[in-house]
Amino acid sequence: MPRPRAIGAFIAAWLSLSAPLVRADWRLNLPAPKSEMAARIYDIHTLILLVCLAIFVVVFGAMFYALFRHRKSAGHAARHFHENTSVEVIWTVIPFLILIGMAWPATKAVLDQKDTANPDLTVKVTGYQWKWEYDYLQDGVKFMSVLATPREQIENKAAKGKNYLLEVDEPLVVPVGKKVRILLTSNDVIHAWWVQELGVKQDAIPGFIRDTWFRADEIGTYRGQCAELCGKDHGFMPIVVEVKSEADYQAWLAGRKARLALAAADADKVFGVDELKARGEKIYAANCAACHQADGKGLPGVFPGLAGSRVATGPAAAHIDLVLRGKDGTAMAAYKDQLNDADLAAVLTYERTAWGNAADAVQPAHVKARRD
Amino acid sequence: MDAHATPAASVRHGPPTGPMRWLTTTNHKDIGTLYLWFAATMFLIGGLMAMLIRAELFQPGLQIVQPELFNQLTTLHGLIMIFGVIMPAFTGFANWQVPLMIGAPDMAFPRMNNWSFWLLPVAGGLLVGSMLLPGGGVAGGWTMYPPLFLQGGISYDLTIFAIHIMGASSIMGAINIATTILNMRAPGMTLMRMPLFVWTWLITAYLLIAVMPVLAGAVTMLLTDRNFGTHFFSAAGGGDPVMFQHIFWFFGHPEVYILILPAFGIISTVIPTFSRKPLFGYASMVYATASIAILSFMVWAHHMFTVGMPAAAQLFFMYATLLIAVPTGVKVFNWVATMWQGSISFETAMLFAIAFVCLFTIGGFSGLVLAMAPVDIQLHDTYYVVAHFHYVLVTGALFSIFAGIYYWLPKWTGHRVDETWGRWHFWLSAISVNLLFFPMHFLGLAGMPRRIPDYALQFADFNRIASIGGFVFGASQILLLIVILKCIRGGEKAPARAWEGAEGLEWTVASPAPYHTFVQPPEVK
Amino acid sequence: MNPSDLNSRNPRAALGLAPCRLCDPRAPELARTNASSLRRFGLLAAAMFGFGFALIPVYDVFCDLTGLNRDAAQALANNTQVDFSRRVRIELVANVQDGAVWRFGAPSRPVDAHPGQLVRVEYELENLTGRPLVGRAVPSYGPAAAAAHFKKIDCFCFREQRLAPHEKIRLPVLFVLDKNVPRDLGVVTLSYTFFEQGGGKRT
């Protein structure tokens, strides 16, 4: 159905011409659809918009005509009719018929949206406060996806990048033209996984799995955001989907698997303190700074500071345990399954040596020893 | 403030004076006034929160408030505007006008009336005061979805408590209004001769009595989940977080109509007056109101199209929601037909009523778009939804309150409204409110989620426009305050029938309405 | 009629006194009808408060009847015949709410089974702490419509699981996908989320 979309584009163009302030990149409509479902939603929206616009013009045309012609200042005298059964029946029945016409394409779309059968690829997506985890069930590849925009940009200390707040460290990668089924759940509160250009949004509900699907038509990078209020950093957990060709996707998958093997090897290495610290700073920024803050001072009364704290400057074992297992009754999550031994050692070392803290470094082997 | 004094009253011993008068009053007019001033105060507080929100969203990046505070502001703004402004304002109108319109001497239960008002400041105080507690105020959204709502601190418990109190207040108020309407009409005033405002409030009262207890139940379950180890809404104990949403919206959707049906009543009073012509299709208006109320119990899950309901449920709720467009359309058509061939004049009350009809319809159309389940998948929890419900609640409910204030102020104060100031208030409000909310449609379509303190760069321009509109809209409301204060302090004396085209019993008593009216019931012919 | 006359008919009102409700001949009767309205509306409000709570079992019954969500699937399997003409892929997923205390693993490979065929899979659960733990798994199905076609004969989710410190156990599930499972349902997911009982609550 290219026609309604063309009309929609025309309306958008007309609106943008009529608004004097408009610049070329101002988006007035849904983004250009990149999947068949998104395209159908786009068309249904255009159809309803046109119907509403037509009704609006007719009804309010009549009203403004009356306001102008039947005003007292123009000397119009009121005519005292106050009902007319046939008119009233007509304007009850006609909207009803219009609604049936609008419900028809929507019904078909709902049925197709719910059809998650026979996918080519299933990815389990888990929402965390405030990041996403992607788990390629068939391939054993699993990783966290965290906001990549630096804090300085958010705090207006640096110029904002092109994809401000819509960039992550590790995007979801899927092959083009394949039916991807998304299995959704959450680890804490309700989140919602939403990529507009692909026409998919689904709540992630703790304790339950929900599924939805999409099939991307074009290679490209598509950006979305969490769409359900999930606490403090709800606005800072974007979704990035990279759609690749089948060959690129396979290459990416192979690279991912190789990295997993490498990470396993890391666990047995011994690193220098500076090396750990440098690596840890990045992990800290991605996982910890949201609560404990980049300066390690925390938010008084809400999130404890780490600079000079008892845990971060005390015995390593207790510190490792806290980060591995989290703390009950607080927002401190368990990082046991989120980070590998080397990453944990790095972030622990960073916390123990940054902001004037001067405790011992932690090596991957120490973390491994305390896992069980 | 001696707005109710009559010449004959100079010898009365009458009510006590000073603060005790207002604390102990059982007079429906006094209590109506109290409700309206309470709503005005909360409007100021909730409005200031909205200004802060718009200031933070003026440009990308975090400038004025941090995310925790931002979430508190959006949550409290919502709760305050719904439970502290729109509902009390409508109850204030009902207290003042329902006895006057049906020829009753007072409300059915005057002492309970006093109680139901004085509970409100307590609840409002708890709600606003909880922001000062350690850990800050409630930040889980006005919809209070668990498990997020289970994570918060003590202020969350206080919020639940405040909602209980406000719920009790609304239930008592609703019982009072419904009983008054059913039992205390003047002889000859049959149900189908009641003014439409009374009809809409009767139906609203039934809705309130039916759904406020459900909300009370839902938040009670939250309270026990939070504090007493129950698992209504946590999967760990066999509960289901989505269950809360079902119960909440079973309350929440009728609540939407609680917030708009009295508005329909006010508009159906104002438009005939200034068109100098009786309301078109009175009977169909009554039936449309009743069918909207009944349908409102069958559409709740259209707020939850993204939770992963089966297709059959999505389709059922989509169809039921579309059906509501039919009676709502009937109302709009009737209003236009009332103006048609009338003798229309444009006093401020009428200007707000006309703006209501236009702009509420825009809110209705965006509601139609959102009712389409597949489209809602793209628009749920975006600024499109924010635009939709603000068109319905600000240019809908709030504009009807403005219209009602301009319309009945002469009856309340005995003075005519300063129309020049009123017009300024109207035009500034009507233009800025569109500048504020219309661009939000575009933001939502382009993909900006709601309830975020910071946003991607492509949303910057429309947010700046919306913020400017917001500041102007907020500042314009100072004009309303000036109009009201001017009208209380003096001005041209208003006759009993303050408007040329006004019909109804309230215009047969003097302006300002004497402290006691219709002690002997009037005859309605 | 002069508006103020309405009030001057009552001498008390003319003096600005509060109307005497008791001297109005209608008053006692009106008080009675009002009181009975109050009772009726009060009862309605109380009933609706109860209805809010009742919505939870109502919702469960509704889901049982329509086969949505969870509990319907706990029904024991009938003696079914196996439909060898097709296979359904069953993905097995494990989630754990508090990764600090448990390790909960699903079989890594999906299972292909004929509708009607008895399937046995094992999950793994390990207590990572030095204290005994009690927990329970909550099942969930994707797509939701699949729930109605899972007939579980035995499942660890029927019971609480108790683990000694550092104990590691295997948790079997025995189920049949009934042969009426729709043909277009090529892949279904069986997911369990493990929760600690009486613990792990955030305040």
Whether residues A154 and A251 share a domain: the answer is: yes
**pLDDT for res A9:** 62
A242 lies in the same domain as A288: no
Which chain A residues are Cβ-neighbours of C91 within 8 angstroms? 122, 137, 183
Whether A134 and A251 share a structural domain: yes
Hey, what amino acid is at C134?
Answer: V
Beta carbons within 8 Å of B190's beta carbon, 6+ residues apart: none
Residues 51-70, chain B, touching A (beta carbon < 8 A): 60-63, 67-68
Say whether both A106 and A136 belong to one domain.
no
Taking residues C94-106, report their average pLDDT: 77
Residue C13 has pLDDT above 50, yes or no: no
Higher pLDDT, B399 or A351: B399
Cα angle C177, C182, C183 (rounded to 5 degrees) comes to: 105
- In tens, the pLDDT along B192-231 reads 999 999 999 999 999 999 999 999 999 999 999 988 888 8
H or E element at residue C176 = strand C168-177
- Residues on chain B touching C51 (C-beta within 8 angstroms): 213-214, 217
Neighbour-count burial of B183, counting CB atoms closer than 10 A to its CB (0-12 exposed, 13-18 middle, 19+ buried): middle
Q: What is the CATH number of the domain that holds A106?
A: 1.10.287.90
Residues A68 and A31 in one domain: yes
Q: Chains with 3 or more CB pairs closer than 8 angstroms to B?
A: A, C
Domain identity same for A289 and A256: no
Residue A3 has pLDDT above 60, yes or no: no
Rank A268-272, A289-293, B305-309, C2-6 by mean pLDDT and report only the highest.
B305-309
**Looking at residues B340-347, what average pLDDT do you find?**
94
| φ, ψ of residue C90 in degrees (nearest 5) | -115, 115
- Which residues from B are below 8 Å from C33, CB to CB? 183
Query: pLDDT tens digits for B38-75?
Result: 999 999 999 999 999 999 999 999 999 999 999 999 99
Amino acid letter, residue A317: A
If residue B125 lies in a helix (H) or strand (E), which one and from where to where?
helix B110-129
Q: Which two tokens stand for residue B409?
A: 């102020």
Q: Which of A229, A230, A303, A328 has the most B C-beta neighbours within 10 Å, making it the best mutation to test the interface with B?
A: A229
How would you classify the pairing of strands A179-186 and A121-128? Answer: parallel
Please give, rounded to a whole number of angstroms, the shortest distance from the CA of B508 to a CA of chain C. Answer: 5
- The question of ipTM being above 0.95 is answered as no
User: Are residues A142 and A172 part of one domain?
Assistant: yes
Nearest CA in chain B to A90: B330
Chain C: touching chains (3 or more CB pairs < 8 Å): A, B
Domain C73-196 has CATH 1.10.3720.10: no
Q: Is A275 found in the same domain as A157?
A: no
Select from A91, A97, A197, A236 the residue whose CB has the most chain B CBs within 10 Å, as the one to mutate to test that interface. Answer: A91
Q: Which residue of C has its CA nearest to B239?
A: C56
CA dist A70 and A218 (Å) reads 57
Cβ A344 vs Cβ A325: under 8 Å: no
Residue with tokens 């680890």: A187
Q: What does residue A222 show for φ and ψ, rounded to 5 degrees?
A: -120, 135
Residue at token pair 């009072």 = B176
Does C7 contact B210 at a Cβ distance shorter than 8 Å? no
CATH value at residue A364: 1.10.760.10
Q: How many interchain CB pairs under 8 A, A with C? A: 89
In A237-296, the residues whose Cβ lies within 8 Å of chain B are none
Residues A279 and A358 in one domain: yes
Which of these ranges, A224-233, B195-204, C185-194, has the smallest mean pLDDT? C185-194
The 3-class secondary structure across B380-415, one letter per residue, is CCEHHHHHHHHHHHHHHHHHHHHHHHHHHHHHHHCE
Look-up: residue for tokens 């009862």? C43
Asked if pLDDT for residue B362 goes beyond 90, the answer is yes
Q: Measured on CA atoms in the order B525, C2, C4, C8, is the torsion positive or negative?
A: negative
Would you tell me which CATH number, out of the four given (3.40.50.300, 3.40.50.10210, 1.10.3720.10, 1.20.210.10), belongs to the domain B24-233+242-508?
Answer: 1.20.210.10
For residue A188, give the chain C residue with the closest CA: C97
Give chain A's domain count.
3
Cα C143 to Cα C189: distance, rounded to the nearest angstrom: 7
Q: What percent of chain A has pLDDT over 70?
A: 92
Residue A288 has pLDDT above 90, yes or no: no
Rounded to the nearest 5°, which phi and psi values hold at C94?
Answer: -125, 135
B238/B24: higher pLDDT: B24
Q: Per the CB < 8 Å rule, is B209 touching C144? A: no
* Residues A368 and A267: beta-carbon distance below 8 Å: yes
Q: Compute φ and ψ for A204, nearest 5 degrees.
A: -105, 120
A309/A176 same-domain check:
no
Tell whether A325 and A342 lie within a shared domain. yes
Residue C64: pLDDT over 70: no
Confidence at residue B60, expressed as pLDDT on a 0 to 100 scale: 93
pTM for this model (two decimals): 0.83
Interface check C68 vs B, CB under 8 A: yes
Question: Which residues of chain B are within 8 Å of residue A116 when distances are taken between CB atoms?
Answer: none
Contact assignment for A190 to B368 by CB distance below 8 Å:
no
pLDDT at C9: 46
Range of the domain at A58: 2-113
For A149-159, how does the pLDDT look when each residue is reduced to its tens digit (9 = 90+)? 988 899 988 89
| CA angle (B106, B108, B114) in 5-degree steps | 80
CA dist B34 and B24 (Å) reads 12
Catalytic positions of B, written as ranges? 77, 106, 142, 169-170, 253, 255, 257, 268, 302-303, 328, 331, 450
In chain B, where are the structural domains located? 24-233+242-508
Indicate if A138 and A253 belong to the same structural domain: yes
